[in-house]
């Protein structure tokens, strides 16, 4: 009998292949893990093994089939039609399958949008803000701007009423323009679900010059394979204080007018922490339940650790459920808390972040300890800034009220009884 567990798996149907060459996309370099002669497109036997094993080893009542890249849409629409059919075939009674995909949006047309709508897909589109901010790093293989193609794809999703959200990376080009970014998503794109992901590209003294050039380029070029090593960062990386100020500026606008209307993942996750709930691996005491599978069936501990040392095995040789529950993966997840510096363990906002993601823990704490999060200064400023409104919203939720009532309370107390 297959052991079941609660986990999330990102799957890459076209590996690291992409039609864009975003300067900060370290995943482009992951092509080097596989021979040049090997196609990055997932074979149908791997697809079937993946879907069958995922549904057999996951707790219900909902199981997510999640696609990412590279650019997953390069695998072609018929592949995704087959994936939906396989999910229906192997779906256990009483289980609902959720289909999600993260895309750069440039390949979306009416056919794709209709398919997404018909099959209930949640589509995440990567957009970094208004034109100039987006095009700073998100460019084609020929270094041409991608904004117009992305917005065309977004508008196509909107036309067909596809459930869609925005994933925005925060980097050197847009970090000083938080409200321009947020208002563009809210007011111009009518986005109601927004993820904000900090760009932190690590490098060593030996790799920093090449890393600053970007991670694109043909296999066999001089670009390094990106790995979570080194205590230097590229010139595209967001600075810690910048990231904190970016989050604070958006939060201050959101908490006054957009609670319950626009869902910013960072804020929702933070509210969970104030309620004693951990809804994201990066703020949980431990991790290890969010894994990734490459196009050939190789499973790695995490999307940020697609490196030889973190390969768990391949679903064609070892069942997915066994890889998820393996001793190697257990140790990987427990290390998140075990490696926290004492400086973090005594921090008043430890409960809100637990050191964030281990991939960013590479600077020295004021105590001289190694392993402090590069973004610590920004996160600490943000969490201290939002403490009072978070406590108010958490109290509302505990009393069976709604977090958005905070907007009425801030406006003069007129909204406190609105939903009593």
The answer to whether 294 and 38 have CB atoms below 8 angstroms apart is no
Mean pLDDT, residues 156-164: 98
129-138 as b/e, with b when 16 or more CB fall inside 10 Å? Answer: bbeebbbbbb
Average pLDDT over every residue of 377-381: 98
d(CA 407, CA 414): 9
Distance of CA 386 to the CA centre of its chain: 22
Q: What is the pLDDT of residues 74-124, one digit of tens each?
A: 999 999 999 999 999 999 999 999 999 999 999 999 999 999 999 999 999
**Active-site annotation holder among 135, 163, 258, 303:** 303
- In the chain, % of residues over pLDDT 70: 96
- What pLDDT digit, counting tens, does each position of 328-355 carry? 999 999 999 999 999 999 999 999 999 9
Q: Alpha-carbon dihedral of residues 210, 215, 217, 220, nearest 10 degrees?
A: 70
Q: What is the mean pLDDT of the chain?
A: 95
**Band (219; pLDDT cuts 50, 70, 90):** low
Task: Give the residue from 32, 69, 420, 6 showing the smallest Cα distance to 224.
Answer: 32
Global model pTM greater than 0.75:
yes
Handedness of CA 283, 288, 293, 294 (dihedral sign): positive
Map out the domains of the chain as residue ranges: 8-339, 342-415
Whole-number pLDDT of residue 415: 41
Q: Would you tell me how many other CB atoms lie within 10 Å of the CB of residue 128?
A: 28
| pLDDT of res. 37 | 83
What is the distance between the alpha carbons of residues 96 and 293, in angstroms, rounded to a whole number?
21
For 271-278, what is the mean pLDDT?
A: 97
Assess whether pLDDT exceeds 70 at residue 358. Answer: yes
Q: What is the pLDDT of residue 417?
A: 38
- 158-178 mean pLDDT: 98
Distance CA 232, CA 8 (A): 30
For the CA atoms of 301, 304, 306, 310, the dihedral, rounded to the nearest 10 degrees, stands at -40
Contact between 285 and 278 (Cβ < 8 Å): yes
What mean pLDDT comes out for the span 243-248?
98
pLDDT in tens, 287-310: 999 999 999 999 999 999 999 999
Sequence-ordered list of residues with C-beta below 8 angstroms from that of 318, at least 6 positions apart, any chain:
312
In this structure, how many other beta carbons lie within 10 angstroms of the beta carbon of residue 288? 22
Architecture of domain 8-339: Alpha-Beta Barrel (3.20)
**303 among known catalytic residues:** yes
Question: Residue 212 contacts by C-beta under 8 Å, 6 or more apart in sequence?
Answer: 203, 234, 235, 236
Scored b (16 or more CB within 10 A) or e, 142-165 reads: eeeebbebbbebbebbeebebebb
| Distance separating alpha carbons of residues 243 and 240, to the nearest angstrom | 5
Give the count of beta carbons closer than 10 Å to the beta carbon of residue 375: 25
Average pLDDT on 368-384 reads 98
What does the alpha-carbon distance between residue 322 and residue 186 come to, in Å, rounded to a whole number? 42
Nearest-5° angle of CA 90, CA 96, CA 98? 95
- Beta carbons of 306 and 292 less than 8 angstroms apart: yes
Kindly report, residue by residue over 388-418, the tens digit of the pLDDT: 999 999 999 999 999 999 999 876 654 433 3
Condensed to tens digits (0 to 9), the pLDDT of residues 97-109 reads 999 999 999 999 9
- Ramachandran angles phi, psi of 108, nearest 5°: -70, 130
Q: What is the pLDDT of residue 420?
A: 32
Q: CA 110 to CA 225: how far, in whole Å?
A: 36
């Amino acid at each position: 009998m297959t052991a079941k567990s609660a986990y999330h798996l990102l799957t890459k149907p076209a590996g690291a292949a992409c039609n864009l060459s975003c300067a900060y996309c370290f995943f482009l370099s992951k092509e080097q893990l596989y021979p040049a002669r090997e196609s990055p497109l997932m074979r149908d036997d791997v697809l079937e093994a993946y879907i069958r094993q995922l549904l057999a080893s996951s707790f219900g009542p909902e199981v997510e089939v999640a696609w990412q890249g590279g650019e997953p849409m390069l695998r072609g629409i018929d592949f995704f039609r087959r994936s939906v059919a396989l999910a229906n075939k192997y779906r256990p009674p009483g289980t609902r399958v959720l289909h999600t995909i993260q895309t750069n949006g440039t390949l979306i047309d009416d056919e794709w949008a209709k398919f997404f709508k018909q099959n209930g897909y949640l589509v995440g589109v990567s957009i970094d803000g208004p034109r100039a901010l987006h095009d700073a790093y998100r460019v084609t293989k020929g270094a041409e701007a991608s904004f117009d193609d992305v917005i065309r794809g977004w508008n196509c999703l909107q036309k067909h009423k596809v459930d869609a959200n925005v994933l925005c990376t925060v980097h050197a080009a847009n970090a000083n323009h938080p409200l321009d970014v947020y208002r563009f998503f809210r007011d111009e794109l009518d986005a109601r679900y927004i993820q904000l992901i900090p760009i932190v590209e690590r490098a060593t003294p030996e790799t920093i010059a090449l890393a600053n050039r970007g991670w694109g380029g043909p296999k066999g070029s001089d670009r390094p394979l990106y790995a979570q090593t080194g205590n230097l960062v590229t010139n595209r990386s967001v600075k810690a204080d910048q990231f904190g100020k970016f989050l604070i500026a958006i939060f201050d606008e959101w908490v006054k007018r957009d609670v319950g209307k626009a869902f910013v993942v960072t804020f929702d996750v933070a509210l969970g922490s104030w309620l004693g709930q951990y809804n994201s691996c990066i703020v949980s005491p431990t991790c290890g339940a969010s894994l990734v599978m490459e196009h050939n069936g190789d499973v790695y501990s995490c999307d940020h650790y697609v490196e030889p040392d973190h390969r768990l095995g391949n679903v064609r040789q070892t069942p997915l459920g066994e890889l998820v529950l393996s001793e190697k993966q257990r140790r990987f997840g427990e290390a998140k808390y075990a490696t926290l510096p004492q400086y973090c363990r005594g921090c008043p906002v430890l409960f809100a972040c637990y050191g964030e993601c281990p991939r960013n823990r590479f600077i020295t704490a004021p105590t001289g300890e190694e392993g402090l999060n590069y973004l610590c200064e920004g996160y600490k400023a943000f969490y201290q800034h939002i403490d009072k409104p978070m406590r108010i919203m958490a109290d509302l939720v505990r009393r069976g009220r709604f977090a958005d009532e905070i907007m009425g309370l801030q406006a003069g107390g007129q909204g406190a009884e609105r939903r009593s």
